[in-house]
Structure 1
Amino acid sequence: MADDNAVTQIDYTSRDYVGYRTSLLNYATQVLPTWTSRSPADFGVLMVEIFSYLGDIVSFYQDRIQDESFLATATLPSSVMAIAQQLGYVPYTAQPAQGSVAFSPTSSLTAPTVLPAGTQVITAFQQNLDAPVFYETQDDITVPAYTTPVPTVAVTVVEGRTQGSRPVTLYPPTPTSAAVTVNVEDLGVSSGAQSQDFTLAKTPALLDTVRVILDDGTGGTEWTVATDFLLALPTDQIFTVYTDNAGTSHVTFGDGINGAIPATGMKVTASYRIGGGTYGNMPAGSIVDLAAAVPGIQIAAPGGSSDMTGGADAESLDQIRANAPRAFRTQGRAVNLQDYADLALNVQGVADAMAVGVSNAAVSVYVIGPNYTPLSEFQRDQVAAYVQPLSLAGAVVSVFNGTLVPINIGGQTTPIQLGVLQRYRRQNVVLAVTQNVQNAFAPGIVGFGSRVSLSQIYEIIQSTPGVDWVQINIMARYDLPQSGTADILCRDWEIPVFGNIYIAASGGV
């Protein structure tokens, strides 16, 4: 008979298959002492192993749910975004590159011709994208008739493509307003249910360009985008837009309590642009043709386009984890210097910031964009306009771009000496070392005022598989003499970035 008073020791930290199986068999020894078989063919052992298997699965999902509840451990983009939203932080989205393109007439153009806004131009075929890069003109321009010398006319272009091919005429907001026609993409038909969700057909969508129009067949009414439905009234014609873990963008509507429900049978349509990212940053002269030929008009030659700049990828999850708590900490006021820098993170396009006290009444805020992209003057003005009203009385805020400081490791005449283990291919080890060192300077790893330690670089190289030994002879800022191996110190407004690395490898295959 089993001892009913026996004390069962349970290890609550052992929550995998082996732990469950061991705990169950130990417990069985106490309550069923006559059952001694531990053969895998035994029915009792079979049942123990089945329950252990189920317990392992349940424990896995419990751990995953718990991890997704905290910013530091969440891995799904939707979880990180939801926590950032709770903290009041809006991660920056992908930014499209922009520049200017010049058009000129051909000899067949005998009369001025208007190129409407939205005319698409393209680069040559890009092997890494398996497609050309598309840009769209932002204004209507008139290309004059052909004369000599050949005239040119320039216009601003932005990377990406506007989606939608079916025209919908919007109801004018006032009787005297002119009607406006918008090309839209059909998303579906409203069922009248609460919290309806519709999917955009193309990705990656630029979320800040999404327009939603409800079409009743005779005209359309444009609804307003909102960050959430928390304070919305039942009659507010608003929607939210988000991107799921698979990269697909969705449009959602309210539940009739917070946000209005689209009427049953209404066509739900959207106009939006796809694009954004660093791939849109192209050198001058990269745009070579119109996407759809226009008789008598061509890209001006030679070099009919300027540099395309400003393209940036969406904020990474690691950067959101670092920036969201900083933005939340300020609580909408700037008292110390760290507050000024953290407030700047709330402005779209700012990836990192540092504040420096110039005097008792002046603060300089240094900012940098995604992937160390400098911010435009307009963006810097936005930062100043946002931070200034939240600063201490009498304090004047000035905003500047941070300074990037390339760090060179090794030199042409005195490269890094690298020993490779016999079983490793020398070329692959050198490539791996270069990539690991480059990753050490990635955004989020280093920032304003970072110190680059020589011992850290040694550790990174030495921990690379295939490395036997290493000797670094030079590690220096690009703007100082290329000699010595002291730690690199950066000023508060400087960011160390990867410069050049020179490696001389020996050994290996």
Structure 2
Amino acid sequence: MSVQIDYTSRDFSGYRDALLQYATQVLPEWTSRSPADFGMVMVELFAYQGDIISFYQDRIADESFLATATQRSSVVAIAQQLGYQPHPAIPASGQVAFAPAPGLDAPVTLPPGTQVLTDYIPNLDRAIIYELTSAVTVPTYTTPVPQAVGLVVEGTTQGDRRLSLYPSSSGEPEETVPVEDIGTSDGAQSQVFALAQSPVQLDTVRVFLDDGVGGAEWTRVRDFLLLRDTDPAFTATTDDQGVTHIVLGDGQNGSIPATGIKLAAAYRTGGGAYGNVAQGAIVDLADGLPGVTVVGSAPMAGGADEETTEQIRVNAPRLFRTQGRAVSAQDYADLALAVPGVANASAVVRSSSAVTIYIIGPNNLVPSEGQRDAVAQFVQERALSGVIVNVVSGSLVPVNVGDTERPVRVSVLPQYRRDTVRLAVQRAIQQVFAPPETTLGARISISRIYAAIQDVTGVDWVVIPLMARADLPQSATADVICRRSEIPIVGNTVVTASGGV
């Protein structure tokens, strides 16, 4: 007996109808279709279970592809398979000025790691801590009062004990670092150890083998592909829950520590856009030091939150396409995305031997000098022979939509609250300029703004009398066209609403 099966009908009603159709062929004597009939109860239970199983089958299939996955864990895993490591939160940095207090009669050296902090911040329920990246010597007190300036970076060094390192082969002096014990090797392949604190600044992670007398440092690598079985190396990755994992080799690509050897890690935590505080926000040393005061600080910059899921969807395929080499202009731009803290990049070929890469940080922030240097070094190693790579920060171009004299006019449908719709329209306009909706060299059309506003629930009609770059005459409505070095951001947005409730 042949049965025609519709494989596209996979919901409750489809399964129910298919089961009843099959029942008429194998049990023609059963004709009752009453909901109270026990046979109908069983048919509907099987249809219900089939509907649930079909749902999970569809979800599993969707989570296997970058474009359709909804869980961040799936998107991160696929990106890592493509060789793309989504960037974690990035710490802000800047300069802090120190001065001697009256009576200081001998210079005081502040070692690297000395902590300074802001006032209490209610939104965070704490102060923000920054640490010196190098030693700063504060001179003796004189008149006028001298100052010493040091570079600080947001975050905190972790570790509950100090480990003495063996001298390197170059004969450099012994170093002592604060470390956290992360586990003991069991001699297995590809051992994984989790760091206790988060968010971890990946570029600060160091791993040591501790024999009880001193520590031998292992090398951090991006992957184990080109390693020998004796290479002491590890990788560090952060999962979708924010936990950072240390992964060791398998004995063929990367060495395996001997059984019983203890492992320790040194790293810093912190990072996020909250660290971009204003000038003068850093006010004191975390641990009071007699004779030294904080007298000022520059604006902290460069801090950014972890890469969003939507940004990962855009950047991972672009990096995979390059296959680790730069030939075309697009290759140079795509390779820059592999450097943590680069959210968008555009390359311009100046000549056959010079390429300029413009980069933008997460959330359309201007990248720091360190990020630009990191991109230049990373891309230069993969560039064609004889090509010089220059890296420049992209320019942010504010775009004004309406002004006080010519606001965006929105008519609200009678059954909707006017103020609620007006705020929703402002958010819709801002979303047009939010990453990853905009890129370097993007063109923002007036029709795109109209479409975004018309999609807001409760909008009847809208008129936009002004849309223009902030650096051009504010006189008309026209598409905004940016150069390859420019990225549009939202400027002044003025919306008025009429109608509604």
Which residue does 1:295 correspond to in 2?
290
Q: Against the structure 1 CA distance between its residues 266 and 364, is the aligned structure 2 distance closer, same or farther, given a 3 Å change threshold?
A: closer
Comparing 112-121 and 49-58, the one that deviates more: 49-58
Letter in 2 for 1:216: D
Structure 2 contact 413–458 (Cα < 8 Å) conserved: yes
Q: Hey, what does 1:312 align to over in structure 2?
A: 304
**Matching residue's letter, 2:393:** N
One-letter amino acid of the counterpart of residue 489, structure 2: V
The answer on 1:133 being equivalent to 2:125 is no
- Alpha-carbon spacing, 1:112–1:355, altered in 2? closer, same or farther (3 Å): closer
Shift of residue 410, structure 1, vs aligned partner = 0.7
Match for residue 209 of structure 1?
A: 204
1:245-394 alignment, distance < 5 Å: 245-300=240-295, 304-358=296-350, 362-387=354-379
The equivalent residue for 1:500 is 492
Superposed CA deviations along residues 179-224 of structure 1, whole A, max 9, x for unmatched, are: 2211112223334444333222211111221112232322222222
Deviation, structure 1 residue 502 = 0.7
Determine which of 155, 168, 190 is the counterpart of 1:195: 190
In the alignment, does 2:106 pair up with 1:123?
A: no
Q: CA deviation at 1:393?
A: 6.4
2:173 equivalent in structure 1: 178
Scaled by the length of structure 1, what TM-score is found? Answer: 0.90
Percent of aligned positions that are identical: 59
**Following TM superposition, by how much is the alpha carbon of 1:286 offset from its aligned partner in structure 2, in angstroms?**
0.6
- Closer, same or farther: CA 347–202 of 1 in aligned 2, 3 Å: closer
Partner of 1:474: 466
Which residue number corresponds to residue 463 of structure 1? 455
- Name which of 380, 396, 408 aligns with 1:404: 396
Q: CA deviation at 1:133?
A: 1.3
Q: Please tell me whether the aligned partners of residues 122 and 291 of structure 1 are also in contact (alpha carbons under 8 angstroms).
A: yes
Distance 1:53 1:247, change over 3 A: farther
The whole-number CA distance in structure 1 between the counterparts of 2:44 and 2:188 is 45
Structure 1 residue 147 corresponds to structure 2 residue 139:
no
Cα shift at 1:67:
1.9
The TM-score with structure 2 as length reference comes to: 0.91
CA distance in 2, matches of 1:276, 1:45: 59
In structure 1, runs of 5+ residues without a counterpart are: none
Note the alpha carbon deviations across 1:27-85, whole angstroms, 9 max, x for none.
22222222233445544344434433443343333223322222212233343333333
* Alpha-carbon RMSD: 2.6
> How many residues are matched?
501
What letter corresponds to residue 354 of structure 1 in structure 2?
S
On the 8 A contact 1:225/1:239 being kept in 2, the answer is: yes
Per mean C-alpha deviation after superposition, the further-off stretch among 183-192 and 127-136 is 183-192
Whole-angstrom CA distance in 1 between matches of 2:363 and 2:440: 14
The DSSP-based 3-state class of the residue aligned with 2:142 is coil
Q: Which amino acid aligns with 1:319?
A: Q
1:309 aligned partner, one-letter code: A
- Aligned equivalent of 1:428, options 416, 420, 427: 420
Unaligned runs of 5+ in 2: none
After superposition, residues 35-50 of structure 1 pair within 5 angstroms as: 35-50=30-45
Question: Residue 481 of structure 2 is aligned with which of 486, 489, 507?
Answer: 489
Q: How far did residue 308 of structure 1 move?
A: 0.7
Distance of 2:237 and 2:125 partners within structure 1:
27
**Residue 462 of structure 1: CA displacement?**
1.9
8 Å CA contact 1:77, 1:244 repeated in 2: no
CA distance in 1: counterparts of 2:44 and 2:222, whole angstroms: 48
> Aligned pair in 2 of structure 1 residues 60, 192: CA closer, same or farther (>3 Å)?
farther
Task: State the secondary structure of the residue aligned to 1:73.
Answer: coil
Which range is displaced more, 281-290 or 101-110?
101-110
